[in-house]
Amino acid sequence: MGINVKTLCKDEFFYGHKACAGCGGSLAVRIALKVLGERSFAVLPAGCMSAVGFNFPQLCFGNNAVISTFAGTASMLTGIEAGLRAQGIRDFQAVGFAGDGGTADIGLQALSGAIDRNDDILYICYDNEAYMNTGIQKSSLTPFGARTTTTPAGKNIRGNLRPKKNMFEIVAVHGIPYAATASIGDLNDFMEKVEKASRIKGTKYIHVIAPCPTGWGIAPDETVEVAKEALDCGLWYLAEYEEGSGMTLNYRPGTFASVEHYLKRQGRFRHLTGDDIDIINHSRDVKWKLIEKNLGVIK
Amino acid sequence: MKPYLRDRIPETLAELPDATAYEAGYLVTKNAGWRSSRPVIHQETCRGCLKCYLYCPEGVIFQDGGKVKIDYDFCKGCGICRKICRFGAIEMEEEK
Amino acid sequence: MARKFLSGNEAFAEGIRLAGPRVISAYPITPQTIVVERLSEMVEEGSLSAEFIHVESEHSALSCAIGASAVGARAFTATSSQGLLYMAECLTYASGGRFPIVMMNANRSTALPWNIYGDQRDSISLLDSGWIQCYVENAQEALDLALMSYYIAEKKEVSTPFMVNLDGFVLTHTYEVTDVPEKEQADAFLPGYETENKLDPDHPRNLGFSVGPEHNIAFKYKEHLGILHAKEAVREAEERFAQIFGRQYTGLVEAYRTEDASFVLITLGSIAGLVRETVDRLRERGEKVGLLRIRYPRPFPNKEIAEVLGNVRAAAVLEKDISFGNEGTVFSNVNSALHKAGIPVPVSGYIGGLGGRNISSEEIEGIFADLKSEKRKTMFLGLGGEGEWV
């Protein structure tokens, strides 16, 4: 009995916002709230989604929603959940939508604390792979080789030199009840994961790749395609971690699609040389060996 | 339920709230002006699969009698719907 | 009502138990730790029904309290010094969001150098944050303010967070006999928290939004008016408190033997106890001296200060903070009050007690002696620096 487009609630909770045309992050927020429903209490830190959705008096959330400090998504969620429960209010969904910077960098401490306490909250990281709201600066989830405004691609250094932080694995190794990766290129998978998480008590984490046309250098109508291509070429993966059953891989491409094609269609990677692409291909292979090795091992 | 356009824009000291709190889903401006082209749905070709409705980042495609329609007040013309439709039922037309 | 031998921290914790917050976010820092420890014991034994959250930092402590307040729950947290500075971005968040959170701050010096002892640099350096700030003198006042702070903060026309300050160690860790009221009395005094400034399943709202250049100043104006309303709310709260508990407080300031005083010492917090004793001793020798204790530097008691000091020959501010590059902040505020009222009384500024350094009654007598010259003097007590501050 999976959730699908026909059973999905018809209400719209995120509407009239000022995100760029074709914004991946807004699609993730819109769909998650449709799954979670009208008794959602959403927390969004400083970042794209809060910046486009809360410009008084244009208030684009139809459900209860609040902006938190940049570092405070998880801690504010903790307080909201406790405050509602302390007043005897039941049947609500406390959900956070934070970007990659707000999760893996400045928000990591509070997220770790919430997981440690097993607060009953759903934390969704919409990953556009840089600090997009402030103008495309590098975060710890910016992939190797990407051009950002703080990792310019020039003669001496060709873009970002560090790999993506293994955020999903970091969260899983806390022993969280449920964590998952997702992509807006596969909304059926994303919806099912949001719905599954909503039925679990304790802390849940979903990490959804959400391309940003502006920052990635793609056309606005390519967002969903590129988000799917990331899965097909293996640079992102669909997996879940659950207490008890450990790590599960949801999708293994038969043969990987071309990493080079995925990279070269994006302006942020266009400067990469053949050697750079070889490095990326190789690290993709190493990562997948590790994923396959870890299946069923991290409990 | 859906955030919707309101008649009144709060402006005076009395109308502005005392705290940073206000009614949810209160809209005062449209996004229509962002478009340079608009998606047009050919209803005869449309099979009602709802993929465009699902993948629209704005949520402006809504269900209507087994098919879909578009709220042009808030469509930004990104074109994702045209790309995602397997049946070629959506075309982008230049805004006049 | 029970009489118990309690430290300042313990007394404050009893007051919080009586106030009944629904959510307590706790992160330990010396010299506040006893407060959160006692509260956890009360939750464990069932005398306090609250969600006790072991947050992982001070920033999260206040962020969590804001979250709870944002859904209409009464929230409490406590901190000190480095922790207060670490959560500083959340201070303006709470005040701008008009969330009536109560926070206890154990006044402690701020690094560098490292020092865990009491001075007031931590909270005085944050007077602009938009929080009501009260400085208590003893354990009884600490307990009473734990209750009164919620009453004042939660008044609709106030809707402002409230910081109650206790001097680190000298008040937090010293013991006094304290009246601990019954829960019934506390419930009669403090109504439940009701507000529309919250996320509500029955009335969805969007909170914590952005406001651009056109209207932002209007929100700040309303915030300023809100904290100013606390002046009247303090008066009303103290009247109600006196009726139920039999203890009458004196508003934004406490004026001790100032009616006919020639020389008045102005200060905050627990040092006032020593100043009071010194005033009594000097009065026995026929000296016309008095003490003006500022209980609430925010909202600032401009009117009360002008009234008390209008006819004195000279006054001195003794404070445990310094605004580097200028003068003591309380000194600045007092001078402004007098200047606005057209009162030409010379005011001297003494910086003392930094890093928990002892202030002796001899030094206080020395200040009163200095005042007789009716010259303005500014200095670090026991060190000098007089006349170098221009």
Q: What is the DSSP string of C284-331?
A: HTT--EEEEEES--BS--HHHHHHHHTT-SEEEEEES---TTS--HHH
Q: Which of residues 13-42 of A touch C (CB under 8 A)?
A: 38-39, 41
* Chain B residues touching residue C198 (CB < 8 angstroms): 21
Of the residues C197, C224, C245, the one at which a domain ends: C245
| Partner-chain residue, chosen from B24, B55, B79, that has the shortest CB–CB distance to A59 | B24
| CATH number of C319's domain | 3.40.50.920
Please state, rounded to an integer, the average pLDDT across all residues of chain A. 96
Contacts of A97 in chain B (CB under 8 A): none
The three-state secondary structure class of A293 is helix
Q: Cis check for the bond before C299: say yes or no (omega within 30 of 0).
A: yes
Q: Do A55 and C63 touch (CB under 8 A)?
A: no
Give the distance from CA B30 to its chain's centroid: 9
Q: What is the pLDDT of residues A213-252, one digit of tens each?
A: 999 999 999 999 999 999 999 999 999 999 988 999 999 9
C385 domain-assigned: no
A63 to chain C, any CB pair closer than 8 A? The answer is yes
| pLDDT value, residue C387 | 66
Q: Are residues C42 and C188 in the same domain?
A: yes
Give the best residue of A14, A36, A59, A64 to mutate against chain B (max B CB count within 10 A).
A59
Query: By residue range, what is the domain housing residue C275?
Result: 253-380
Say whether pLDDT at A299 is over 50.
no
Do the Cβ atoms of A16 and B77 come within 8 Å?
no
* Structural domain contains residue C29: yes
Q: Specify the pTM.
A: 0.97
A60 interaction partners in chain C (CB closer than 8 Å): 206
Subunits next to C (3 or more Cβ pairs <8 Å) are A, B
**C175 and C47 housed in the same domain:** yes
ipTM of this model?
Answer: 0.97
Domain end residue (candidates: C216, C245, C274): C245
Does C185 touch chain B if contact means CB atoms closer than 8 Å? no
Name every chain B residue with its beta carbon within 8 A of the beta carbon of C97. Answer: 19-21
Are residues C114 and C144 in contact, defined by beta-carbon separation less than 8 angstroms?
A: no
Domain boundary residue, one of C245, C274, C291 = C245
Q: What is the mean pLDDT of each run of 10 residues along chain C (390 residues)?
A: 96 98 97 98 98 98 98 98 98 98 98 97 98 98 98 98 98 98 98 98 98 98 98 98 98 98 98 98 98 98 98 98 96 98 96 97 97 92 73
Q: What is the pLDDT of residues A68-120, one digit of tens each?
A: 999 999 999 999 999 999 999 999 999 999 999 999 999 999 999 999 999 99
Helix, strand, or coil here: A291? Answer: helix
Q: State the nearest Cα–Cα gap between C133 and chain A, in angstroms.
A: 23
C218 vs B: CB within 8 A: yes
In angstroms, the separation between the Cα of residue B53 and the nearest Cα of chain C is 25
CA atoms of C173 and B11, how far apart (whole Å): 51
The whole-angstrom separation of Cα A162 and Cα A169 is 17
Write down the pLDDT at residue C384: 75
**Does the distance separating the beta carbons of C197 and B21 come in below 8 Å?**
yes
Contact status, residue C137 vs residue C277, Cβ threshold 8 Å? no
Residues C221 and C263 in one domain: no
Closest CA in chain C for residue A87 = C73
Q: What integer pLDDT is reported at residue A2 of this predicted model?
A: 83
Q: What is the pLDDT of residues A119-149, one digit of tens each?
A: 999 999 999 999 999 999 999 999 999 999 9
**How high is the pLDDT of residue A296?**
53
Q: Do C299 and C210 sit in the same domain of this protein? A: no
How many domains does chain C fold into? 2
Q: Do B26 and A38 touch (CB under 8 A)?
A: no
C38 touches chain B (CB under 8 A): no
Nearest CB among B20, B22, B23 relative to C96 is that of B20
Mean pLDDT along residues A259-271:
98
The range of the structural domain enclosing residue B9 comes to 4-94
Band (A190; pLDDT cuts 50, 70, 90): very high
C388 lies in a domain? no
A15 and B28 within 8 Å at the Cβ level: the answer is no
Chain B 51-70, CB below 8 Å of chain C: which residues?
A: none
Pick the CATH number of A24-294 from 1.10.3720.10, 3.50.50.100, 3.40.50.2300, 3.40.50.970: 3.40.50.970
Confidence (pLDDT) at C389: 62
DSSP alpha helix (H) spans, chain A: 24-36, 48-53, 73-86, 100, 108-117, 167-173, 187-198, 213-216, 223-232, 259-264, 274-294
Question: Residue A58, SS3?
Answer: strand
Distance CA A126, CA A24 (A): 8
Q: Quickly state the pLDDT bin for A155 (edges 50, 70, 90).
A: very high
Residue A55: closest C-alpha in chain C: C210
In a shared domain, residues C85 and C199? yes
Distance CA(B25)–CA(C204), nearest Å, equals 9
Give the mean model confidence (pLDDT) for residues A272-276.
Answer: 97
Q: What is the pLDDT of residues B19-65, one digit of tens each?
A: 999 999 999 999 999 999 999 999 999 999 999 999 999 999 999 99
CATH of the domain at B89: 3.30.70.20
Indicate the SS3 state at residue B29.
coil
Question: Is the same domain home to C241 and C103?
Answer: yes
